[in-house]
A and B are shown apart, each in its own frame.
Chain A
């Protein structure tokens, strides 16, 4: 084995990385080769320098910095995976302004939305009065297969409107209804209404009930300048039409 080959083994021999057989080969060569013996000494010196690097102390601030950054990430990850009701009080306390604003918005919307969309139901026409009047429109009401008392009608105007839309009587049955056979007529005329069918007859409001005009909606836009106020009037009746 020549010196070049043996020096690769010497690089391992110097740190005890060779097996017994290869170590013996190297030792035998070293006994007869001064150059390789010198090479071994040089290698041990350079290896001492390399190993000395292990004794180098690192700046403690580096450890602290790394640990702090990691623990911040860990805390963030734990908060992200924790239900809000299990969060520590300190975490929630830090968000108190956001919680207050959010709660105010929810309460505000909860109060304003019903007020905006609520409509005063129109006073329903009393059923008895409709039959007595004898007008075709009112006879249709009398022929309803599900008689509704006037008191119920007042309480549930929308349900009554639905009932009127679903039951439309032919004109030749209206006379029978006026003669006192509402039940038989109701049994004959009760036909299922298919979904999507066009229903022809709509009840018109009685002449003696006049709907009150809706008051216009007043919107005021306040600007930064207290002298400038933008007022916006919306005619709700026009809007509905």
Chain B
């Protein structure tokens, strides 16, 4: 079933986003009930429970801390505005992921800050394209370097591939869940994820060779 968009909030009526997973023990469900009744402190509790999800996903998708903070703020404000549209019995995190992806996409469009770099740019700059070995990747990169290179690789991905690989590989969602969040098919998500993984592998190997030259 195709999702419908309304002001960046997709009306979730898609089984891929999960349903029936709420139990009486789910703290989010209880806070949601109270927040829908106008309890601001309950809404703040929802934020505390899910702020890492929203902020880290925004950071991976946008690549900038300040932009990610702006996006997270917008996500929670949209959540507050459309809280009553969330159907009880649905899983909350996928719904929140969907808002987050839409907000980040809108923010990128508004600010026109989509990175124009691509993986082909490395060839033009004459950087090495020989692949490095797996042991090289593990040994040569410090933790900070690894993170920096991965972030740069993410920025170079097309937006749809970036969203798919962030949700699948970094946030750890299933292909089915990612498809539900992005509003596409599982086949499309697999294709996007496969392409993104190959591009990122290539990029990281090139970065290693460039570092070795220095």
Contact = CB atoms under 8 A, between A and B. Distances in A.
Interface of A: 7-9, 11-12, 14-15, 17, 38, 41-54, 56, 58-59, 62-63, 65-67, 69-71, 73-75, 77-78
B172 A49 contact: no
Counting from the closest, the 6 A-B pairs by CB-CB distance are A45-B134, A46-B201, A11-B194, A45-B137, A11-B197, A41-B134
Interface in B57-81: 59-60, 65, 68-69, 72-73, 76-77, 80
A69 B66 CA distance: 13
8 contacts: A15-B168, A38-B134, A42-B132, A42-B205, A46-B197, A52-B147, A67-B76, A70-B77
B175 interface: yes
Do most interface residues of chain A lie in helix, strand or loop, or is the interface mixed? helix
B169 interface: yes
B131 interface: yes
Interface size class of B (residues with CB under 8 A): 35 or more
Contact of A50 (B132, B150, B175): B150
A62 B54 CA distance: 12
B149 A49 contact: yes
Contacts of A62: 55, 65, 68-69
A82 to B, nearest CB: 10
B38 A43 contact: no
Contacts of A48: 138
B137 to A, nearest CB: 4
A49 B72 CA distance: 25
Nearest to B133: A42
Nearest to B71: A66
B32 interface: no
A66 B76 contact: yes
B193 interface: yes
Nearest to A43: B201
Contacts, number: 126
Contacts of A69: 73
A62 B66 CA distance: 9
Interface in B194-213: 194-195, 197-198, 200-201, 204-205
Contacts of B77: 70, 73-74
Nearest to B196: A11
B52 interface: yes
A65 B69 contact: yes
A211 to B, nearest CB: 66
Contacts of A71: 40, 44, 47
Nearest to B74: A70
A54 B171 contact: yes
B69 A66 contact: yes
Nearest to A75: B40
Given A11-B198, A43-B198, A45-B138, 12 more contacts: A7-B198, A42-B134, A46-B205, A49-B150, A50-B170, A51-B170, A52-B147, A54-B170, A58-B59, A63-B55, A67-B48, A70-B73
A8 B201 CA distance: 12
Given A42-B134, A46-B200, A67-B48, A53 B150 contact: yes
B205 A50 contact: no
A145 B195 CA distance: 102
A49 to B, nearest CB: 5
A66 B134 contact: no
A7 B143 CA distance: 27
B138 A17 contact: no
B198 A50 contact: no
Contacts of A51: 169-170
Nearest to B146: A49
A153 B198 CA distance: 103
B190 A12 contact: yes
A42 B131 contact: yes
B51 interface: yes
Nearest to A82: B38
